[in-house]
Amino acid sequence: MGNYTEYLSELSPWYLVLLALLLFLWVFPLWRIIGKAGYPPFLSLFAIFPAVGLILLWWLAFAHWPIRRDAPIRREAPVPARSKTSW
């Protein structure tokens, strides 16, 4: 097995920038979605690992979101009735 430091020194800085960008583009939307669903947003960090990220997406798709259980039913405001005027 080679030296880990030598392996990292061979990587281009652009490769590391691209890797960080791709991780951000994958984790940040999950962070927002999971937070809006009512779960702790840090769970999205598990998506860094591809298999765990796939399991996380399936779980998120079929789980009962806590935010939906506590939220009141939103209904549109009733339209005020027109007053009848006699001319």
Banded model confidence at residue 44, pLDDT cuts 50, 70, 90: very high
For 52-75, b where at least 16 C-beta lie within 10 A, e where not — what string? ebeebeeebeeeeeeeeeeeeeee
Mean pLDDT value across the chain: 80
Q: Whole-model pTM?
A: 0.61
Domain borders along the chain are 33-71
